[in-house]
Amino acid sequence: MENRWGKLHAVLESIFILYLYFALTIVFLVVPPLALKALGVRLGLRPGTAITLGGVLIAELIALLGARAYYRRKGLTLGALGWSRPRNSVAVVGLSLVAALLYCGYALQIPEVKANVAEMSWLKLWGVLVAVPAALMEEIIFRGYMMARWQQVRITPPVQVVLAAVAFSLLHLGFGFMGILCTFVVGLALGGLYLLGQRNLLGPALCHGAINAVLEPWLLLWLLKFYAERFA
């Protein structure tokens, strides 16, 4: 009974943290554009994307500070979260890059993303500066913290991978059903890379960071364009 309660408590705790992270992200994604609109500032799609990226950066910095304080309180070290010395590094790096290429190849089927992916501009630089650290932060939360926490209460590794993938996909609700499904599959791959590296974040962080470096800010720009046209 105690073991079951420990597992339930760990899952509920993770759900609560996910909710806080999700709420924080939504607030800083939505509030800056709405505040500018309320002030009468009209932004084009690209400046609006840049402002939204700024909101993402603020949210990630707040999440990082909060996570640092929480981890210290729980006695979780960086090593426990997956920043220890990497193992199986050659295989992990190779598979991480292959997984990133596969996902990028799929995402390039979106015309707006494909049309802009080779562009080098201030918006591209800003997108990379925001999206790559965001990928690292998400891996610390979804693979590092969550899977490490579930390991403490003896939830099996396959279940850990699936639960983390579900949580990761829910963070991307705005991308629609296919986006959620694809993100779930990517989450499974990232969890697998985490386990392959013997609970090291090198693999998932490299894969996630490479995906964001290639596709952002164009994925976000495409999403904002979609919602702008839908709710115009």
Residue whose pair of structure tokens reads 């010395």 in the numeric block: 85
Which percentage of the chain shows pLDDT scores above 70?
91
For the purposes of burial, counting CB atoms within 10 Å of the CB of 97, is it exposed (0-12), middle (13-18) or buried (19 or more)?
Answer: middle
Structure-derived torsion over alpha carbons of residues 55, 61, 63, 65, reported in degrees to the nearest 10: -150
Q: What is the mean pLDDT of residues 54-77?
A: 79
Distance CA 190, CA 27 (A): 26
Half-sphere exposure of 87 (CA within 13 A, CB side): 10
> Among 75-79, 175-179, 226-230, where is mean pLDDT lowest?
75-79
What does the DSSP 8-state code read for residue 44? -
Distance CA 191, CA 185 (A): 10
Model pLDDT, residue 80: 65
Instruction: Return the closest-CA partner of residue 128 out of 44, 224, 219.
Output: 219
* Residue pair 55/28 in contact by the 8 Å Cβ criterion: yes
For the purposes of burial, counting CB atoms within 10 Å of the CB of 13, is it exposed (0-12), middle (13-18) or buried (19 or more)?
Answer: middle
Give backbone dihedrals phi and psi of 212, rounded to 5 degrees, phi first. -65, -35
Instruction: Return the closest-CA partner of residue 30 out of 58, 64, 8, 72.
Output: 58
Which amino acid, 167?
A
* Residue pair 215/124 in contact by the 8 Å Cβ criterion: no
Distance CA 137, CA 67 (A): 9
**Residue 221 in this model has a pLDDT that exceeds 70:** yes
> Among 71-75, 91-95, 140-144, 156-160, where is mean pLDDT lowest?
71-75
Distance CA 226, CA 222 (A): 6
Kindly report the number of other CB atoms within 10 A of residue 111's CB atom.
Answer: 9
Local confidence band at 85 (pLDDT 50, 70, 90 cut-offs): low
**Residue 214 in this model has a pLDDT that exceeds 90:** yes
**Residue 174 in this model has a pLDDT that exceeds 90:** no
